[in-house]
Amino acid sequence: MANGGSFNVNIYEEDYDYENLGESGPSQDPFQLFKEPACNVQGNPGDIQMEMFTKNSDTSDSESTSSSKESYNGCRLRSLQRNNWSAATRRVLSSMPSRKIGLHSSAGMAVRETCALPTHQTSSRVSLHIPRVTQDDITSPEFEEISTEDEANNLAGSGLWCTETNKEQLVSDLRGLSESEGLRKLRAMPLSLADKMEIRKHFFSPLAKNLVINRNFPCRNLPCMYLSRMWRHCRYAPRFSTSLKLWNSSMKKLSGRYGTGVLSYFTFLRTLLFINLLFFITTFLFLVLPQAIHPPPDSHGESFSWIEIFTGMGYLSRSLMFYGYYSNITIKTTSITSMVPYCIPTAYFFTITISFFIICIILVYSMSKSFGKSFQVFKSDGNLSENVFCSWDFKVTKKPSIRLQSEKISTQLKEQLSELASREEERTLMQRFRNFLVHVAAWFICLASIFFSALGVYFLSKTISKVLQNLDLLFMAAVVSGFNLLLPGIFNFCAWMEKHNSPCTRVYVSIFRNLLLKISLVIILCYHWLGKIAVEQDPQVSKCWENFVGQELYRLLLMDFIFTVLYTFLGEFVWRIFSQKILRKNRKPVFDIARNVLELIYGQTLTWLGVLFAPLLPAVQIAKLFVLFYMKKNSLMLNCQASKKPWRATHMTTAFITLLFFPSFLGAAVFVAYTVWKIKPSSGCGPFRNLTSMLESVKLWAERMKDHHQILSWLFRAYNAFTDNPIFLFMPSGLFLLLIYFRIQVVDGQRRIIRRLEKQIDDVSKT
Amino acid sequence: MVSIGVRSQNPRQTNKNRKELTFLTKQEILLAHRRFTELLEGDERNHPNPRVPMDAILTLTELKSNPFKKRICQVFSTSENRDGSLTFEDFLDLLSAFSDSATLEIKSHYAFRIFDFDDDGTLDYGDLEKLVNCLTGETADTRLSSEEMRQLISNILDESDIDKDGTVNLSEFQHVISRSPDFVRFVLFHLPCKCSLFTHYCYSRLIFNFPTALSRLCCEDYAVEMYPSLIFISLFHFKQNQF
């Protein structure tokens, strides 16, 4: 608190001195006055925060500070009196993004400007005639560091201080920090390298030599020196990890040529690969490996034909790939497991459920991180200024790509301007009615096609009752993948017909329609499996329905991959040759990011659905993603051109991760939970045979273990108490809801502060 | 070997300082050194602190087609007559500001100065107009008409000019940037960090003086990446000695 006080007092003293020097010009007022209301309103967040908790309405301050006709002396006095902000106030203000940057840079500009003023002999670059910044700019972002930066506050805005004194001040206040801290701050200042090296010389001069000498030779012999240097290099070299990342260089090349939209697709692919890798490692270590070491006694080798790779029958169905292979024994034979018996059904259950849980946490975490990046406290109407300031991609170096980028930016700006203009003009009733009709027709077509395709799959699944052989098994999977491939074409046609106003809406609508199609197909299939196959005794299923479901999912995954390959080949490669040679057009096809991402999500959903019945399915998905990366990359380079439409990468990444979590992962989790809880496992195969549900195996195991181990019995008693007593559900939920409410209020408070600040600045600038 | 920018300290200390004060790694500094010396004429290489004129800098592939190339050179130049010429340290400043690991404040600061075409410390109507023209390119169909330009700039000023003085100053600019998560595109060079480049560097140094060069290399912070190249080089030197 005392820090805050001294910070405040310094400002107004220095401001007063600065005023007295008579160097105020018209251009300097914005800076000064901009900072000044900020100091006034700093009281308000404290009020808002306090209001929430103590219900004291301290309206006197807020009323008086909102009036802009406040006399300069009056506000100065009040700020002098207000010595202590609460920690909450400081936290709110320091967490506003625009406060974090701009402070050091202003410091840098002040130093450089004051350096530049006397002579040109210093190596500063440009003498800016910017208004001299008041020294409350030269504070650290975190208010906790105010005490060490107080000295910097004394770098008064007057140009009469000489160069050396300024540098000395900066050096002296840097000296208060530790060496690495000081270097970090110096590095982040926008000064020229020569200036920085000079400051560093002063900063380091008395201590540096000792430090350098001490650091250089901690031990006399050479290997020790190598090791210590290597250790230090490993610790302080964050670059090393980026070179270890998979596919980093190819992705940089792609983003340079095609932009960040395409890059987001490939980043998403890489994320999915790592998630699958995690899943695969867990299941492999805890499930596949123990079972592989102890194969069940009734397995016997069978003839192997290549068709079985596609259908999953025959040899594969009696391998580690599918559920039916796993036995319900407890391994006690090896030396380790005779002490700690390894129970396969329990391992199966726990591996799958705990992997799902871990992935849930990972997805929620990445979703929240990516949402936080794109969230704005106070969303303004348009983002034209963002587009103008931030949209130029400096990585693009080739002339045609630069031309393309200019075109893209120009199109985007023109579209946004026309959108703003059209928002203002009134459209006639006839035009609006016609638009409405077109929208209705398009939606009708899309929904009808989705409905009919779902109906087709439903009837197909019911009517295929005879036992199928070999490649006929693939028919169902081919039909589903065919629908997934062809219907998005119809959706694109509808979108072209509709002519949405903003490209964002178009992308969202097309994503929604695609998603609806895939969800409906998957739901029909799940209903068919769980509702019919698991319950009835179907002739084609023989004795093991889980194997059948696993095989179906495996076939779906494979057919999806085959159809993707076909589409890439036909849709992109052949189409390009066709359009160039025969149609004589120079337009290459455009890489449809939304559609490709949804295909990835669909494949991942199938993997998650199938992992309970085919534990090695993540391995198949990993192989598929690997091949897909190289195939898509090469197809992109050869056949496609960069899209002319703008693509807001961060927002879309958030949307994709949300889609991955919400319908895809949660749907799969619900499916698995329902299967585990309610469905009776088949009696002929698998680790859960002869039980009423898969969950029951855990209960039985718990009963068995309870007598042997104290901790486990305590754990299970706790678990039973947890699930029986509803209060353990209500308390955490209540806590989460309270937390969410608190965060909403904080955001609301920030919004109010921002509005008040803007109004202040507006009023003050008018005077 | 050309030594550029050697001061009273030895080059190693200078390089170390540079590494600590910029956002570049040592490999990137060495690579930048190489690119910079390629731009020098023959007789300039012996100069203690050579300065490359703007035309030579603009021949770099990364800058050749960039619409902001002249502004970039002018902003980072420390010459007194503001002609856009760069010394090696200016060049390092340029790379550092445009590197992946530079902080947002550095990037936004330099972006502001690059966009400030008339160097008056604020972005007024003229600056914004030139900026939009640079962004949209030179062909007639991508350029905005004057009506569209007027509308665009008035919208930009509505959104970003908080104190309503008709210009965008540094704080307002940084406020807009901080809201946009896409500003990470302010990255220019991708200096590849591959072991092979370093091997090349080692090789070129080692031809002349193996023991001191080896000790000097070992004392730098490259130990981890260096071992494969060390083996290669020691083998090569050994082979050479055999002849």
**Residue at which a domain ends, from B76, B102, B128:** B102
- Pick from B76, B165, B173: CB nearest A389: B173
User: Is residue B238 in some structural domain?
Assistant: no
CA distance A11 to chain B (A): 18
Minimal-distance CA residue of chain A relative to B112: A389
- Give contacts of B181 with chain A, Cβ < 8 Å: 373-374, 650
- Do B125 and B199 belong to one domain? yes
How far, in whole angstroms, is CA A581 from its chain's centroid? 42
- Do B139 and B191 belong to one domain? yes
CA-nearest of A338, A723, A651 to B179 is A651
**Three-state secondary structure call for residue B160:** helix
In sequence order, what are the residues at sequence separation of 6 or more whose Cβ sits closer than 8 angstroms to the Cβ of residue A75? A36, A39, A40, A65
Write down the pLDDT at residue A25.
36
CA–CA–CA angle A585, B144, A412 (5° rounding): 65
| Side-chain half-sphere CA neighbours of A355 within 13 A | 26
| B20 touching A (Cβ < 8 Å) | yes
- Pick from B17, B110, B132: CB nearest A388: B132
Instruction: Name which of B95, B182, B197, B218 to mutate to probe chain A: the one with the most chain A Cβ atoms within 10 A of its Cβ.
Output: B182
- Give contacts of A421 with chain B, Cβ < 8 Å: 151
pLDDT of residue B200 exceeding 80: no
- Pick from B21, B90, B101: CB nearest A200: B21
Question: What's the CA gap between A87 and A66, in Å, rounded?
Answer: 23
In sequence order, what are the beta bridge partners of A343?
Answer: A330
The 10s digit of each residue's pLDDT in A746-763 is 989 988 998 898 888 888
Q: For residue A528, give the amino acid letter.
A: H
pLDDT of residue A82 exceeding 90: no
Minimal-distance CA residue of chain B relative to A255: B185
CB-CB under 8 Å, B75 with A125: yes
Write down the pLDDT at residue A239.
45
The 10s digit of each residue's pLDDT in B23-48 is 888 888 888 888 888 888 777 777 77
Stretch A667-694: mean pLDDT: 86
Q: What is the CATH number of the domain that holds B143?
A: 1.10.238.10
Reading the block at residue B151, the tokens are 């509308």
**Looking at chain B from residue 135 to 164, which residues have their Cβ under 8 Å from any Cβ of chain A?**
135-137, 139, 142-144, 148, 151-152, 155-156, 159-160, 162-164
The dihedral through the CA atoms of B71, A414, A377, A756 has a sign that is: positive
| B8 touching A (Cβ < 8 Å) | no
Reading the block at residue A54, the tokens are 């103590």
- Give contacts of A238 with chain B, Cβ < 8 Å: 101
User: Is residue B227 in some structural domain?
Assistant: no
- Do B97 and B153 belong to one domain? no
Question: What's the CA gap between B171 and B108, in Å, rounded?
Answer: 10
Residue A203, classified by CB atoms within 10 Å of its CB into exposed (0-12), middle (13-18) or buried (19+), is buried
DSSP state, residue A33: H
The 10s digit of each residue's pLDDT in A264-318 is 889 899 999 999 999 999 999 988 888 888 777 765 666 677 777 777 777 777 7
Pair B174, B166: CB distance under 8 Å: no
Residue A496, classified by CB atoms within 10 Å of its CB into exposed (0-12), middle (13-18) or buried (19+), is exposed
User: Is residue B213 in some structural domain?
Assistant: no
Binned at pLDDT 50, 70 and 90, residue A380 comes out as: low
User: Is residue B116 in some structural domain?
Assistant: yes
Binned at pLDDT 50, 70 and 90, residue A158 comes out as: very low
CA-nearest of A103, A171, A185 to A143 is A103
User: Is residue B12 in some structural domain?
Assistant: no
pLDDT of residue A678 exceeding 60: yes
φ, ψ of residue A117 to 5 degrees: the values are -65, -50
In sequence order, what are the beta bridge partners of A331?
Answer: A342
pTM (predicted TM-score) = 0.68
DSSP state, residue A661: I
- Give contacts of B148 with chain A, Cβ < 8 Å: 413-414, 417
Q: Hey, where are the domains in chain A?
A: 260-420+430-690
Binned at pLDDT 50, 70 and 90, residue B4 comes out as: very low
Question: What's the CA gap between A606 and A300, in Å, rounded?
Answer: 30
- Do B108 and B33 belong to one domain? no
Of the two residues B13 and A20, the one the predictor is more confident about is: B13
Minimal-distance CA residue of chain B relative to A32: B163
The dihedral through the CA atoms of A305, A308, A309, A312 has a sign that is: negative
Pair A590, A597: CB distance under 8 Å: no
Write down the pLDDT at residue A598.
92
The 10s digit of each residue's pLDDT in A204-248 is 665 544 444 444 444 456 677 667 666 655 555 444 444 447 788
**Distances from the Cα of A96 to the Cα of A89, A93, A139, B112, B118, angstroms:** 11, 6, 15, 21, 31
Helical ranges in A392-498 per DSSP H: 399-424, 429-463, 474-498
- Do B52 and B108 belong to one domain? no
Write down the pLDDT at residue B190.
53
- Give contacts of A31 with chain B, Cβ < 8 Å: 169, 171
CB-CB under 8 Å, A385 with B155: yes
- Pick from B98, B139, B156: CB nearest A385: B156
Instruction: Name which of A390, A405, A423 to mutate to probe chain B: the one with the most chain B Cβ atoms within 10 A of its Cβ.
Output: A390
- Give contacts of B173 with chain A, Cβ < 8 Å: 389
In sequence order, what are the residues at sequence separation of 6 or more whose Cβ sits closer than 8 angstroms to the Cβ of residue A294? A329, A331, A333
User: The tokens 């300031």 sit on which residue?
Assistant: A389
CA-nearest of A323, A298, A321, A287 to A682 is A323
- Do B137 and B52 belong to one domain? no
User: Is residue B235 in some structural domain?
Assistant: no
DSSP annotation string for A554-612:
HHHHHHHHHHHHHHIIIIIIIHHHIIIIIS---PPPB--HHHHHHHHHHHHHHHHHHTT
CA distance A98 to chain B (A): 5
Of the two residues B164 and A584, the one the predictor is more confident about is: B164
Count the neighbouring beta carbons within 10 Å of the beta carbon of residue B96.
Answer: 23
Average pLDDT, chain A: 72
How far, in whole angstroms, is CA A579 from its chain's centroid? 38
CB-CB under 8 Å, A397 with B66: yes
| Angle between helix A593-610 and A617-639 (nearest 10) | 170
Question: What's the CA gap between B28 and B97, in Å, rounded?
Answer: 13
CA distance B106 to chain A (A): 6
Pair B24, B96: CB distance under 8 Å: yes
Reading the block at residue A704, the tokens are 């068995």
CB-CB under 8 Å, A34 with B171: yes
pLDDT of residue A132 exceeding 90: no
Q: For residue B234, give the amino acid letter.
A: S
- Pick from A101, A125, A249: CB nearest B104: A101
Which range (A439-453, A666-680, B105-119, B190-204) has the least confidence? B190-204
Helical ranges in A611-693 per DSSP H: 617-639, 649-659, 666-678
- Do B198 and B118 belong to one domain? yes
Minimal-distance CA residue of chain A relative to B121: A130
The 10s digit of each residue's pLDDT in A88-120 is 666 655 655 455 444 444 444 444 444 443 333
Pair A53, A746: CB distance under 8 Å: no
CB-CB under 8 Å, A183 with B105: no
Binned at pLDDT 50, 70 and 90, residue A138 comes out as: very low
What is the 3-state composition of chain A as percent helix, strand, coil, each rounded to the nearest 5?
75, 0, 25
Write down the pLDDT at residue B7.
45
**Distances from the Cα of B137 to the Cα of A390, A391, B57, angstroms:** 16, 14, 21
Structure ipTM? 0.73
Count the neighbouring beta carbons within 10 Å of the beta carbon of residue A436.
Answer: 10
- Give contacts of A394 with chain B, Cβ < 8 Å: 66, 98, 185-188
- Do B90 and B160 belong to one domain? no
- Pick from B121, B164, B185: CB nearest A130: B121
Write down the pLDDT at residue B243.
36
- Give contacts of B30 with chain A, Cβ < 8 Å: none
- Pick from B139, B156, B164: CB nearest A384: B156
Minimal-distance CA residue of chain B relative to A648: B182
The 10s digit of each residue's pLDDT in A10-53 is 333 333 333 333 333 333 333 333 333 333 333 343 333 333 33
| Side-chain half-sphere CA neighbours of A49 within 13 A | 17
Write out the residue range of the structural domain in which residue B150 sits.
103-205
User: Is residue B94 in some structural domain?
Assistant: yes
Of the two residues A563 and B79, the one the predictor is more confident about is: A563
Instruction: Name which of A123, A385, A763 to mutate to probe chain B: the one with the most chain B Cβ atoms within 10 A of its Cβ.
Output: A385
The 10s digit of each residue's pLDDT in A534-554 is 777 665 566 788 888 888 899
Domain count, chain B: 2
Reading the block at residue A206, the tokens are 């008395």
**Looking at chain B from residue 59 to 88, which residues have their Cβ under 8 Å from any Cβ of chain A?**
61-62, 64-68, 75-78, 80, 82
